[in-house]
Amino acid sequence: MSKTSNYREIGLKNALTITCGDRIRSYDFEPIPGRGRCYVEGTVVKITDAPGYNAFVIDVDCDVFDDNVILFEEGRVGMKIFAPIACSEWSEYEGRITKI
């Protein structure tokens, strides 16, 4: 995964390649060496177009924190979460949201 100077371009690429019904992985923050990965996986059930906040609505079926799968009672499995299509320049990176 690599940074880009055009973070909006990454969000646009996600918006053009991911549709309702697709299964995606959405990272909570960028993976770095020495820190476990944190992300959710699930099916896109809606794509919001609210002004200033376009997001994929994901029906979560897998929740991972620090490289460990989180149990249903403790995590986000079974919830619908919002994954922003594009983030601010400092938090956007290639691979933040991927189709799986």
Query: What are the DSSP calls for 19-84, one per residue?
Result: -TT-EEEEESS---TTS---EEEEEEEEEEEETTEEEEEEEEEEEEETTEEPPTTTSSTT-EEEEE
Q: Is the pLDDT of residue 66 over 70?
A: yes
Which domains are present in the chain? 7-99 (2.30.30)
Q: Is the pLDDT of residue 3 over 70?
A: no
Nearest of 44, 62, 64 to residue 54 by alpha carbon: 44
CA pair distance 94, 78, nearest whole angstrom? 27
Mean pLDDT for 31-47 is 93
Instruction: Name the pTM for this structure.
Output: 0.81
